[in-house]
Structure 1
Amino acid sequence: MRATTNGELTKAWATVPDVAQAQQRHEAAVKLRRDFPRGRTPAQALADAQEAAMATFIGTGKWPSDFARTTAKAHAEALVWEAEANALYELERRTKESAEAVRDVRSVDVLEHLGERLKEILDAAKGAAETLGGVTSPGQAIDAGGDVLDAWRRLTALLREFRDVRDGQWEVLNAVNLDDQRARMRRWRAEGHGEIRSGLDDVPAPIRDVMRSGAYTVEYLAWLAQSGTGYVPTSYEDLQDEATAGDLVDAFAGAEGPVDYSPMVRPPLTPKPAETYAHSSTPHLDHSQPAPARPKANATAPDRERTTTDYF
């Protein structure tokens, strides 16, 4: 499974039954493989049997009469052990791949859950943000004391949950998209996209700097809670729509009334007859027939400019 220490993301995955079941089966496969007793490979079993027989001969001068039977038994037991050990390693690998595949397929459900968690966090932060007023630092909150200090503490606690939601959002989006899409998402994230739906044009410069850096602060959380525009993209396309919304051209901008896009009708062109010169000839395509007559000239070729070859 993709390892994560993100508490919000772990809880989000657990809300999707298919993902939870796949995770449980992978964890069970890991436990089976770890609890499986250590053993010998067939090659090790043969080598150990040979060493024991040679040690007996060197010590007593007698070769073990049951060498073949003992060696065959050790080899057979090692083959059985190795077969099960290999099967358990393969089981662990397959259940991991299966669980990751299920996560990719159900990523929208997880992102939607993170979106709900973001809404819960921002709803809880809104009241504290209003209480905070113009306070923007811990020192100011301490000086104000009372409800303002409590509001600052409340926002500080919510900020940790908010960071986990945002980190989980990007972790899922990066996991389920291709390299070129991830490159675009990194660029959009560096521009501040993926935070709000209303566009970045009217966002105050200090707030936009936080969006670009991802270094979230209490002041930013308070602003976002009051703006009512925070969201979690549920797919690459969802993020793309928000990030490229300002790039769309309004075909009707500045137009007074409906714009007429019907095709323009132009008068037909009068064809110009081909120019035929005295030296022109009709192509002789079928040599089984007589050569066609020369066409009647209707134009004269202009005199060319003289070159040095005309004089020397």
Structure 2
Amino acid sequence: MKAAAAYRDALEWESERIALRLAEEAAKDYAIGVREALAGDALTYLAGRLGETLSAAREAGDVLGDVRAADEAIRAGGADVEAWSHLQGLVVDLANIREAQWDLLSPPLRTGQLSSLTNRPTMLAWRNAGHGETRGFRVDDAPEILLDAARSRRYSVDYILWLSRSGAAYVPGSVEELTDEVEAAQPAPIVYDDHGPVTLRVIETPIPAPKAPDVYAHSRTPQLDYSGPTPKNPELTATPGDPVPPVWRY
């Protein structure tokens, strides 16, 4: 009887533990579902915040002029000090926007789904390569200042000023949009022949206008209607040269 009672008490504790674990997993999955449903709206909001941040950075940059260090701003004094302080805060805002952007684009860790574990490294590799920062990004022609910021995850005054003046900064609206940007950023495919690598590129060669025909002294304007007057001969534009003498080979 004592053994049966102990077994019954153990089952109660085990049942409670399992129920709590399942409730926690269900709540977590529900929160992930809500986050995925609202991810598009959140990314749209971040795009607006990015535009506001970069607009303020441009204005501060116009005040600073060539000032790029704190001691230079202090020596200049006045509005330069205030603009430098404001620009430092905007750098932090830019970093927060990018962190939130990649957090929303990366697949959440769902319970029992290995796909989320395999896709997250892909997002990390794209971020380190410089994707998701500017439109028209090209892997084979990426500015070094952008690559440094993407690899180090550290934004600077120089970078935010460059980004604000590039006119190409953006926040991807979805994973699909980011994927399209990554595919478009890849260099042209390369094949190899006997002479080495060959880049497959479409080259359009314009067709030159045809050369006007040569008119010789014996040229005549054709007369299609013999009931009318004889047409005037065309103007002489060329003279026939002497024929090339034959060369006999024995």
- Give the structure-1-normalised TM-score: 0.50
Structure with the bigger percentage of helix:
1
Q: Is the aligned partner of 1:162 residue 2:94? A: yes
SS at match of 2:106: helix
Distance 2:186 2:143 in 1: 20
Q: CA offsets, 1:107-154, max 9 Å, x none?
A: 222222212211121122220122222222212222222222211111
State the secondary structure of the residue aligned to 1:183. helix
2:76 matched to 1:124?
Answer: no
Would the alpha carbon gap of residues 129 and 198 (structure 1) be closer, same or farther in structure 2, given more than 3 Å must change?
A: farther
Structure 2 partner of 1:253: 202
Q: Report 1:213-232 matches (<5 A).
A: 213-232=152-171
- Deviation of 1:207 after TM superposition, in Å, equals 4.1
Return closer, same or farther for 1:203/1:237 CA change in 2, 3 Å cut-off: same
* Count of aligned residue pairs for this structure pair: 186
Q: Which runs of 5+ in 2 are unaligned?
A: 109-114, 190-199, 208-250
Give structure 1 stretches of 5+ with no counterpart: 1-42, 48-74, 259-312
Seen in structure 2, the aligned counterparts of structure 1 residues 107 and 146 have a Cα distance that, compared at 3 Å, is: same
User: For residues 149 and 104 of structure 1, do their structure 2 counterparts lie closer, same or farther at Cα, with a shift above 3 Å needed?
Assistant: same
Quick one: which amino acid aligns to residue 226 of structure 1?
R
Aligned CA-pair RMSD: 3.4
CA distance in structure 2 between the partners assigned to 1:183 and 1:238 by the alignment: 18
Aligned residue runs from structure 1 range 216-295, under 5 A: 216-247=155-186, 249=188, 253-256=202-205
Q: TM-score, normalized by length of structure 2?
A: 0.61
Within the candidate set 196, 199, 203, 2:134 is matched to 196
CA shift at 1:249, angstroms? 4.3
Shift of 1:89: 6.0
Q: How far apart, in 2, do the equivalents of 1:161 and 1:227 lie?
A: 18
8 Å Cα contact 2:130/2:150 also seen in 1: yes
User: The residue matched to 1:244 in structure 2 has which SS?
Assistant: helix
- Label 1:118 to 1:156 Cα distance change in 2 as closer, same or farther (>3 A): same
Deviation at 1:188, TM superposition (A): 2.1
Task: Output the CA distance in 1 between the equivalents of 2:202 and 2:21.
Answer: 63
- Contact 1:129 1:222 (C-alpha < 8 Å) held by counterparts: yes
Corresponding residue number in structure 2 for 1:99: 31
8 Å CA contact 1:155, 1:222 repeated in 2: no
What percentage of residue pairs aligned between the two structures are identical? 37
Q: 1:173 aligns with which of 95, 102, 105?
A: 105
Instruction: Give the Cα separation in 2 of the matches to 1:238 and 1:217.
Output: 27
Tell me, yes or no, if the aligned pair for 1:141 and 1:148 is still in contact at 8 Å.
yes
Shift of 1:196: 0.7
Deviation at 1:84, TM superposition (A): 8.2
